[in-house]
Structure 1
């Protein structure tokens, strides 16, 4: 099983190797970050934390302070030590707005940090977050790069990113492929099992599946409900992580038209999710009709939104009569299914009067800039989680840099924080029931489908393991020759 090279298809290409910027989710550079920088910790479907480069991450005061313990003797690929100072540098840097990290909101939960010794970092949070370990697992805080290399910055770092992961970068031909080779200094020998990886972006879902099916690739990170279904029918191995929340349109509540709650309610009520499912996924998607999946302890059957075309038209007419006709652009990426979603929404809204809809397509790499520019009316993004804390509050709390709707609603804030700090499942469920009820009223985002956090592999590939939000671990992969 040891040795060999895996050809892997990704959903997008990162614009940089900077670990703070890549994005630790299935749709961005999660596999690349894990390959170059390794992981401090991971989790499983049950939400249990598993430690890797960290030995522990514990709180003795219900989430106000945490102490991170590293494995002794960790080194970066250039032989320099990966110690508590390096972790502090990376985490502090992620907090800085100038870094442009998608995980800034997660890092901003840390008020201060103190290096206790080479392997120990003590962090104090702004407010208690008992499940803060999940913020590490699902964000770029899980990846630590060499501070010396990061200080060089820009092209110099992209050409030679120094991490402590299972692989190092050999070459990167942008818009083509990236080749990674085994890191002989990786801490967890005999992993990685493979000698090298060749990574290539494949945004078109049909092309991605056909390339894998015809032997042009060994594994594909895939977020297509259609592809996952076809692979399953063809007998190809499929690894799938179920998650609550889903793919959403975040509505910018700080500018017209969505600064008026009626505009948000009108669009939500105008859309037929069954029709969207049929048009985009041939009816195969699991739609996000509720905030939590029915397997979650926090599940509530209350629907997030209901189609009501008559009320939608009434609201569109009411706003137009006041001189505020609904006109907005929908920002998405070039991925084929995202385009189909935008086109179907456009077709559905065209049946209504007093509403205009425009599609705006940008590259995945440009999305991080939206968190600071807020230059969008509605943007296709995601709010997915296994446990709701801290991911759900991160995307919904007023003042959070990850809150793309920018809604600051006191009732919603109170319920989210109550769910975060409650000490029993019953108390947390009551709080999250209030969250879901409030979401249906103020509509900061429109939920579409559950996020298919998946990977499809050839039959001779093994060790396919995901954690967090569809973050694939390359060190466990092997190919049977």
Structure 2
């Protein structure tokens, strides 16, 4: 039996492009191994069982997070997508939207929709529907996952049935990335949403490739082909059943024994084992990674020397071996080598002598480093916390306690910032719009609380720049300041991955690894 429990453990949840591109329909797959590329032409029919990593709290787009490790698959299935990107090239690709263009450097955008789009109940998906959804997501009372990105919108105006004018609070030339990465991509029927969340959860209405047939909480979600979906002959599968499988070993065992067709995956070790079992795997390369995040708002990490000591004391090779049996991908730099913004600027380097000197210096001033690492019950989180504790036990004048907290405490943890150290993340393809939110002083998503003028200015420069050379210069400064300030210690790149059965094809991911259900098909 698949274990069903909502997981927010990964990153506490979980592509530079031209602004005006010709319309097309499709996304881009990730790095694929073991033959998961499409073989022959897609065929229609059949059913699939998909394992996801986190159970959805509801079906409202506001309550879903467009992240591969959370609820992206369900959101894409029910609501489709306006815009996606090719994860290999960063190219923006349009689906239900025809274009999302700016003529004034990113202060205003014009969203053009395909004509004739309809929700599954036959009502039109038009500019008025998009306005209703986007205005709703940016309202604080809605409590949407996409609120930080949606709140960057100052106003929306319906120009005609297929055209929406979007005015931002500041110029953000790369704002298309905000749509790609969040629930702004998912448009639900305003009529259905107005009926209230209980009614909407029972019968969500979108224009995506699938409709909800049954949702048995803590068990499964059953989806059926939406006959009104615009991109025929997609979707290819008749039905999809989605189950939540939190335990990594159980998830892999289910796949290797043929108990499921697709597993949305986050673990490097599972991916290595899947390859050994000759199961196809696909991974989207992302910058940043998972990190031990230090709270700079309070002692001991309000003192930069304490952060520098921790950064110098911890050896990520030891961490990789302990947490991932050596299968993890190092994240020593902010950007992966495949990124146009990559610089060979190390964010951390082990130096035991330096670490001990700093620990001793702080102790001599009456400020010995003592902190609590708060962790969720998941095995990955606990292994990281325990490894930090073990490595630091080799040093004098530093003490580490571990406190396991419940998943229900996640929201409070991220609004009240009541922690010393916690596992967090900064995951992105293009730096916009996520990087600024992660490290800008005052941002609600800035877990570390770091607030540095040079860093803030560079993040803003990177956001506002329209020239890639200017963006590259800005993000070089960002990397230099993060290396100097050490608010986080990245211990691995993320693994936004998919494992499939050998007869499953059409794996296409976009954004941060979000999987497109309409592209999946089974070779019979």
TM-score range, shorter chain: over 0.9
Residue 85 (structure 1) shift: 2.0
Structure-2 change in CA distance of 1:368 and 1:20 (3 Å)? farther
TM-score (norm 2): 0.87
For the residue of structure 1 that corresponds to 2:483, the secondary structure is helix
Residue number in structure 2 paired with 1:271: 314
State whether residues 135 and 390 of structure 1, in contact with CA within 8 Å, keep that contact through their aligned partners in structure 2: yes
User: Over aligned residue pairs, what C-alpha RMSD do you find?
Assistant: 2.0
Structure-2 change in CA distance of 1:165 and 1:335 (3 Å)? farther
For the residue of structure 2 that corresponds to 1:394, the secondary structure is helix
Residue number in structure 2 paired with 1:10: 52
Deviates more, 1:33-42 or 1:152-161: 152-161
State whether residues 205 and 337 of structure 1, in contact with CA within 8 Å, keep that contact through their aligned partners in structure 2: no
State whether residues 245 and 384 of structure 1, in contact with CA within 8 Å, keep that contact through their aligned partners in structure 2: yes
Question: In the TM superposition, what are the counterparts of 1:422-437 in structure 2 within 5 Å?
Answer: 422-437=465-480
Residue number in structure 1 paired with 2:123: 80
Structure-2 change in CA distance of 1:223 and 1:95 (3 Å)? same
Question: In the TM superposition, what are the counterparts of 1:114-263 in structure 2 within 5 Å?
Answer: 114-263=157-306
State whether residues 373 and 400 of structure 2, in contact with CA within 8 Å, keep that contact through their aligned partners in structure 1: no
Quote the Cα distance in structure 1 between the aligned partners of 2:304 and 2:190.
45
**Where does structure 2 lack aligned partners over 5 or more consecutive residues?**
1-42
Residue 324 (structure 1) shift: 4.1
Residue number in structure 2 paired with 1:98: 141
For the residue of structure 1 that corresponds to 2:492, the secondary structure is coil
Deviates more, 1:178-187 or 1:216-225: 178-187
Deviates more, 1:450-459 or 1:172-181: 172-181
For the residue of structure 2 that corresponds to 1:141, the secondary structure is helix
Structure-2 change in CA distance of 1:88 and 1:379 (3 Å)? farther
Question: In the TM superposition, what are the counterparts of 1:408-447 in structure 2 within 5 Å?
Answer: 408-447=451-490
State whether residues 398 and 406 of structure 1, in contact with CA within 8 Å, keep that contact through their aligned partners in structure 2: yes
Q: Deviations over 1:234-290 (max 9, x none)?
A: 321111111111112333322333333233222222211000000111111111000
Residue number in structure 1 paired with 2:392: 349
Structure-2 change in CA distance of 1:226 and 1:429 (3 Å)? same
Q: Deviations over 1:333-381 (max 9, x none)?
A: 4443233222222222333333223133433x76455443333333322
For the residue of structure 2 that corresponds to 1:448, the secondary structure is strand
**Where does structure 1 lack aligned partners over 5 or more consecutive residues?**
none
Question: In the TM superposition, what are the counterparts of 1:275-354 in structure 2 within 5 Å?
Answer: 275-352=318-395, 353-354=397-398
TM-score (norm 1): 0.94
Quote the Cα distance in structure 1 between the aligned partners of 2:104 and 2:477.
27
Residue 142 (structure 1) shift: 0.8
Residue 133 (structure 1) shift: 0.5
For the residue of structure 2 that corresponds to 1:66, the secondary structure is strand
Deviates more, 1:162-171 or 1:246-255: 246-255
Deviates more, 1:251-260 or 1:135-144: 251-260
Residue 28 (structure 1) shift: 0.5
Structure-2 change in CA distance of 1:184 and 1:412 (3 Å)? same
State whether residues 77 and 517 of structure 2, in contact with CA within 8 Å, keep that contact through their aligned partners in structure 1: yes
State whether residues 134 and 390 of structure 1, in contact with CA within 8 Å, keep that contact through their aligned partners in structure 2: yes
Deviates more, 1:216-225 or 1:146-155: 146-155
Quote the Cα distance in structure 2 between the aligned partners of 1:340 and 1:292.
25
Residue 321 (structure 1) shift: 4.5
Structure-2 change in CA distance of 1:406 and 1:148 (3 Å)? farther
Residue 423 (structure 1) shift: 3.6
For the residue of structure 2 that corresponds to 1:217, the secondary structure is coil
Residue number in structure 1 paired with 2:75: 33
Residue number in structure 2 paired with 1:22: 64
Structure-2 change in CA distance of 1:84 and 1:169 (3 Å)? same
Quote the Cα distance in structure 1 between the aligned partners of 2:464 and 2:290.
26
Quote the Cα distance in structure 2 between the aligned partners of 1:123 and 1:58.
10
Residue number in structure 1 paired with 2:31: none
Quote the Cα distance in structure 2 between the aligned partners of 1:225 and 1:156.
39
Q: Deviations over 1:59-95 (max 9, x none)?
A: 0111111011111222222222222222122222222
Quote the Cα distance in structure 2 between the aligned partners of 1:329 and 1:174.
35
